[in-house]
Amino acid sequence: MNDFIAARSQMALSLGFHIIFSCIGMVMPFFMAVAHFYYLRTGQAVYKNVTKAWSKGVAIFFATGAVSGTVLSFELGLLWPEFMKHAGPIFGMPFSLEGTAFFIEAIALGFFLYGWDRFNPWFHWFTGVVVGVSGLASGILVVAANAWMNSPAGFDFLNGQYLNIDPIAAMFNKAWFSQALHMTIAAFCATGFAVAGVHAFMILRGSNVPFHTKSFTIAAIFGCVAALVQPLSGDISAKDVAIRQPAKLAAMEAHFHTEKSASLLVGGIPNEEKKEVDYAIKLPGFLSFLAHGNFEAEVTGLDRIPEENHPPVAITHYAFQIMVGMGMAMMLIAVLYFAALWKKRKWLQEPWLLKLFALATPLGFIAVEAGWTVTEVGRQPWIIYGIMRTADAVTPMPGIAYSFYLFTAIYASLAVFVVFMLYRQIKMVGVLYDATADH
Amino acid sequence: MVHRPWSSSHRRSAVSRQPSAVNIHSFTHSKLKMLYIVITYLWASILLYLLLGGADFGAGIIELFTSKKNKQVTRKTLYSAIGPIWEANHMWLIIAIVILFVGFPVIYSTMSVNMHIPLTMLLIGIIARGTAFTFRHYDAVVDDMQYLYNSIFAISSFTTPLFLGIIAGSAVSGHIDPQADTFVDAYIFSWLHWFAITVGLFTVSICGFLASVYLIGETKVEHERLRFAHKAQFFNIAAVICGALVFVAAWFEHIPLFDWVFGNWVGRIAILSATLSLIWMWALLYQGKIDWLRPLAGFQVTMILLTTTYKHFPNIVLLKDGGYLSLTEHAGQEKTIEALAWALLSGSILILPALFYLIYSFQKNPLNYGNEAH
Ligand code: HDD
Ligand code: HEM
Ligand code: HEM
């Protein structure tokens, strides 16, 4: 494996790992706040148990998220020193604000996890909300930094120099809003479906049904609301990408030839040699509509973009298809669930709906990973879009492949550990929380 | 057409300033103040990481040097002492790194290249330690896995500050050679030398010392206190020995450490007051007075950091060819520094009161290990 590919793979692996933990770290505090709120209002012990059980899961995820995030802040330099040398001062603003957000999150988490029965209950509840709000803030800030890589702003690039740096303008670049919105909703969607799925599975198994039903309902409602709005926000993102990064849009859709009233492809195998897509279902005009809101509009194809600036088409295309596919599947489930809540209460008692949720456990996270693949691979060959090539940013140190193998081994074992830990948490629910006891 | 935001509306002014505006001379007077604010924050977060993170590492190091029968008790004291502020202690490292890569990108990227290997080792330590600490507490089933978590925690508590010290030592050792043309010169000998290793060991013993002093105040049981006092003594002696070794290594490697530390009044006063406060601290300890121990230990470590950074400030990386990387000359552009300073200042207003309240409430009313968070 050459060093450049190794560096990219290591970055992708680390980010792909971190994003799972950060989504959970951002979203679970809100689920807990709801359960905690019901406990404080109704005094039902089961809500307290749900809050406590979740908070232990979150502590595990939080610690893993924190260490993997710390690793990332070093990896940016370890793998991409040339990039950081120039980008650091420009896109650093969100990172410096993020430091504050993390700190507040860590402090609030200390209060929340260790504060049972020592503070005013509502103060304690509030610290849990602060954990969530500051987590969301840090997620949005770091996405603004990523958006800057897609849509560089806040400096003048003259003769290879980065002049007149304006960190505020860099933070509010043209991509930050659409990306931050889409990412935030994605985090709710993915976490909601994952948590709901696990609890649905436990209900099906018939263990601690009241406990798991309460947990399921909270998570499912969050996840389903997010799943309903996510396609709308995805549409905003797509329109945005069409203007900012036509090469990325073309790669997402494997759109080789510029044309008016372009068709949207469903599935298909891109053939980069022949510049064709085999076996795809074509929806005429829909790509023009998706990209520009008009069935007639012209959509730039890869033919208008110099060959050396083409992103990898196949990966971007498949990843996009996967994200949208997962999004549609979750949207359907959400529609069924809300139909059940409003009109068909009896569906809630039937196992098929729960089975559907149990099967959908990983869908949201698959969509998140696929979505990031679209964004990051679709930006290639640029690390700063239109300014610096990824290949020029990589560390001069040879042997990165070994580093990649090492980190792969570490992340793989961490993943195993976390799953093992969660398995044990869930297995012990019946022992740790007596749902009938009133304390 | 590729859209280019950086050449359109985002351009702030048509006149471009000095091309490489990375020089101290291009900072206007009031902005220089901003630069010093940023540098102060950098120094303070390194210090706080050394003190708080250090005590935290030290707690694990103590575990490594504790006999089997006392390990469980040590662990309990440790947990109730650091549990709630555990996450916050490690934020200082992140703050320091962010300040470096935003404000001083050349320093960050040079160190990242030449210190790639020890930084990777450091990261492995951070991952192992952070997860082991959490897993051992939150594992719902208590069984043999605990043994694994404990060993990982204790060992990585040792290696992480070791590599931190190695990196810090290397930065000022003059072994970093950006022009090196072989792999070993560029990526191995930049950090693998006696000076860096002794600094690493010195850091480890400082951490052990801080933690033992800290834990003395955390337990109400007399013989426990005594045990931690012995540990403090042990690590104090270790620190003195390692410190002496650092000087020996510096002498062999032609690093003018002696001059840095004793060649100026700040250094001499700092070392003298640190020594006096150490004597005072031991006197207090033998009288069984524990109130002042922590501030005194903190003071000593602060003085050590002060002496070792004062003389060659603002240069924090000294290169093989006699060149250096300086906090003033290699700072980012004015606007960046200004924004960073404001971010740090406003962040502190939010963070510090909350952090103090957190520490205060758990000091006043300590955790009862075994009951909380369950
Ligand atoms: C639950 C997760 C999820 C779901 C269901 C969707 N997405 Fe997504 N998508 C993401 C999660 C995600 C993401 C992981 O969060 C990304 C990566 C970067 C970003 O900002 O969001 C993303 C990126 C992303 C981008 C690239 C943005 C950029 O590069 O700036 C586009 C165009 C879309 N999405 C479009 C869609 C559409 C049309 C969807 C219709 C169903 C959709 N997404 C569902
Ligand atoms: C957490 C969600 C993210 C995921 C899953 C993700 C995924 C990826 C992937 C797959 C690559 C490799 C692309 C390729 O080489 O073809 C990559 C590269 C990279 N990403 Fe991201 N990314 C995420 C967020 C971010 C953020 C927030 C930043 C920075 C602020 C960032 C910075 C980078 C850098 C510097 C590279 C390496 C250079 C490159 O390949 O362009 N990423 N990421
Ligand atoms: C889209 C991508 C990302 C999102 C949404 C995200 C979000 C988050 C969140 C919510 C946390 C809190 C930890 C938790 O609750 O589990 C976190 C932790 C962290 N992240 Fe990320 N992050 C992303 C990418 C990155 C990148 C690229 C970096 C590094 C440059 C980074 C650095 C960190 C650090 C240092 C922490 C630890 C802070 C702590 O202890 O709380 N993150 N991230």
Ligand 3 neighbourhood includes A70 CB (under 6 angstroms) = yes
Residue B20, pLDDT > 50, answer no
Question: Do B336 and A109 lie within an 8 Å CB cutoff?
Answer: no
- Picking from A183, A223, A247, the residue whose alpha carbon sits closest to that of residue A23 is A183
Q: For residue B333, list chain A residues with Cβ-Cβ distance below 8 A.
A: 89, 165
Residue B5, pLDDT > 70, answer no
Ligand 3 centroid–CA A320 distance in Å is 24
Ligand 2 centroid–CA A15 distance in Å is 6
B94 and A CB contact within 8 Å: yes
Residue A223, pLDDT > 90, answer yes
Residue A291, pLDDT > 80, answer yes
B7 secondary structure, DSSP code: G
Ligand 3 neighbourhood includes A76 CB (under 6 angstroms) = yes
Residue B7, pLDDT > 50, answer no
More reliable by pLDDT, A237 or A270: A237
More reliable by pLDDT, B71 or A359: A359
Picking from B116, B133, B163, B356 by the largest number of A CB atoms within 10 A of its own CB, the best residue to mutate is B116
Q: For residue B9, list chain A residues with Cβ-Cβ distance below 8 A.
A: none
In the predicted model, what is the mean pLDDT of residues B17-30?
49
In whole angstroms, give the CA distance from residue A173 to residue A177. 8
A164 secondary structure, DSSP code: S
Residue spans of beta strands (DSSP E) within B201-333: 315-318, 324-326
B7 and A CB contact within 8 Å: yes
In the predicted model, what is the mean pLDDT of residues A320-324?
92
In whole angstroms, give the CA distance from residue A410 to residue B128. 9
Task: Read off the pLDDT band of A100 (50, 70, 90).
Answer: confident
Ligand 2 centroid–CA A148 distance in Å is 12
Residue B2, SS3?
Answer: coil
In the predicted model, what is the mean pLDDT of residues A5-16?
92
In whole angstroms, give the CA distance from residue A437 to residue B63. 38
Provide, rounded to the nearest whole percent, the portion of chain A with pLDDT above 70.
Answer: 97
Tens digit of each residue's pLDDT (9 = 90 or more) over B192-219? 888 899 999 999 999 998 888 888 877 7
A66 and B CB contact within 8 Å: yes
CA-to-CA separations, A155 to A148, A177, A241, B7, in angstroms, rounded: 11, 19, 21, 8
Task: Read off the pLDDT band of A118 (50, 70, 90).
Answer: confident
List beta partners, residue A276.
A271
Q: What is the pLDDT of residue B83?
A: 60
Ligand 2 neighbourhood includes A360 CB (under 6 angstroms) = no
| Nearest chain B alpha carbon to A113 | B373
More reliable by pLDDT, A188 or A121: A188
| Nearest chain B alpha carbon to A431 | B140
Q: Which residue has the tokens 């040699």?
A: A273
The model's pTM: 0.88
Lowest mean pLDDT among A14-18, A27-31, A389-393, B288-292: B288-292
Query: Is the complex ipTM higher than 0.90?
Result: no
A43 and B CB contact within 8 Å: no
Q: What is the pLDDT of residue B374?
A: 35
A165 and B CB contact within 8 Å: yes
Residue B144, SS3?
Answer: coil
Question: Do A71 and B127 lie within an 8 Å CB cutoff?
Answer: yes
Q: What is the pLDDT of residue B368?
A: 58
In whole angstroms, give the CA distance from residue A88 to residue B332. 9
Task: Read off the pLDDT band of B81 (50, 70, 90).
Answer: low
Tens digit of each residue's pLDDT (9 = 90 or more) over B263-291? 888 888 888 888 888 888 888 877 777 77
